[in-house]
Amino acid sequence: MNQDPQSPNQGGFSDPRSRAEFQPQHYPRVNGQEPPPPTATERNDRIKLQFLAAYYDLNCAYARLFAARQEAESPARREAEKKLLQNVERLLIMRDGLEDQYAPLGVIAEPVVKDGFTVNVILSFGNMDAAGRLRSELYTITASLPVPLPKGFKLEDLDLKIEGPGVNPP
C-alpha cells in the first residue's frame, strides 16, 4: 500500500464515504472526533483518512462475518464463513501494510474496539507534540555505538575527533 497521503485517490485509496453502499455506523471516529473531510489536503489528515478507510473496511467485513455466523450450521455457512474470514485476513494484511508504511514517520494507530467493531482510532504522529502542535521537520538522532579496538591499540593512538556528551578524551 504505497499511497501518497497528499493524493486522495493515488494508490487505490478512496474515501469510503464516497461509496454508494457507505454504511456510516461502521465508520470510526479519530481521536474521539469527527474525521477530516474527504477533501482534506494536510498530510496528517490524509493519513487519518487512510487509517479510517482501513478500519471501516474491517468493520464492514466483520459485520458480514457476524451476520453469516447467525445462520444455521450448514456446509454452505461454513464455506461462506471461510471466504469471509479470508477477506478479513486480507484486510488485516492491508492495514498492517499501512502501519508499516507510516511507522518511519512516527505514526501510531491504536483502534478502540467495542463488540468487535472499531469505534475510534487513536492516531499519534511523530511530527506533533502531545498538544497536537507541529514539531520542526528536522530531527536530530544520536546513537551510541561501541567499537572494540584491536588488541594492542589505545584510543589515544588513533587519529579521531570525538564529540558529544559524556566523552572525555585525555
pLDDT digit string (tens) for 26-72? 999 999 999 999 999 998 999 999 999 999 999 999 999 999 999 99
- The count of domains in the chain is 1
pLDDT at residue 91 greater than cutoff 90: yes
CA distances to 41, 87, 157 from 150, rounded to whole Å, are 55, 56, 12
Residue with the larger pLDDT of the pair 144 and 102: 102
| Dihedral (CA of 78, 82, 87, 92) sign | positive
Residue 80 lies in a domain: yes
Lowest average pLDDT, out of 12-26, 117-131, 156-170, goes to 156-170
Residue 38 lies in a domain: yes
Q: Domain of 94? A: 10-124
Contact by Cβ (8 Å): 55, 95: yes
Lowest average pLDDT, out of 43-52, 107-116, 152-161, goes to 152-161
Beta strands in the chain (DSSP E): 29-30, 108-114, 117-124
Residue 86 lies in a domain: yes
Any idea what DSSP says for residue 42?
Answer: S
Residue 160 lies in a domain: no
Mean pLDDT (the chain, rounded)? 83
Residue 109 lies in a domain: yes
Residue 59 lies in a domain: yes
Residue 15 lies in a domain: yes
Residue 52 has phi, psi (to 5 degrees) of -60, -40
Q: Is the pTM of this model over 0.75?
A: no
Residue 134 lies in a domain: no
